[in-house]
Amino acid sequence: MKKILAVILLVLSCNCVIFAENVLSRGTFIQARIVDAIKSNQQNISPTIIVDNDVNIDGKVLIKRGTPIVAQIERKKARGCGRPGTLNVKFLTTEAVDGQTIILSGGTMSIEGDAKKGLAIGLGVGLGWFFWPGLGCLAIRGGQAEIPADTLINNIMVGNNYKINL
């Protein structure tokens, strides 16, 4: 009898706020939109990336549409001998409606520009046999990598489980 009474008192003393929390579970997909174009030859420019659709769980919005997403962007410019520019974008975090930082996983993008190695080496070596300024063709650069504006990314997921207070 004492055990039953103790259990009842324990249940009654629990805070009802625990039951009001909404769980954003690991693996929930988030759709993102790249608002500004990202180019491999633009250094120190951070593009705007946002959540494209509300993230709803049981009819409640846990992450609002338009919330910014923090991303890590690695750029390499196109170089001589026809080597192309590259872009690597990794989506890191966003924010829930209660202000919690939500860690993201997946959604890594790698884009490479047009390679022009054959053209640069062929012209550089081929023309270099006949006259030495032809070797300047080895300085031909590859194409720049670019992710156009309004690109949708569908493979971003929530990295951990979160309890969101509304």
Per residue in 30-42, pLDDT tens? 999 999 888 888 8
Helix (H, G, I), strand (E, B) or coil at 63: strand
Assess contact for 153 and 91: CB atoms under 8 A. Answer: yes
* HSE value, Cβ hemisphere, 13 Å, CA-based, for 16: 1
Assess contact for 100 and 51: CB atoms under 8 A. Answer: no
Q: In the chain, what are the domains?
A: 23-114+142-164 (2.40.128)
Report how far residue 70's alpha carbon sits from residue 153's, in angstroms, rounded to the nearest whole number: 14
Per residue in 39-86, pLDDT tens? 888 877 778 899 999 988 888 899 999 999 999 988 888 766 667 788
In this structure, is the dihedral angle defined by the CA atoms of residues 112, 49, 74 and 41, taken in order, positive or negative? positive
Predicted structure pTM score: 0.71
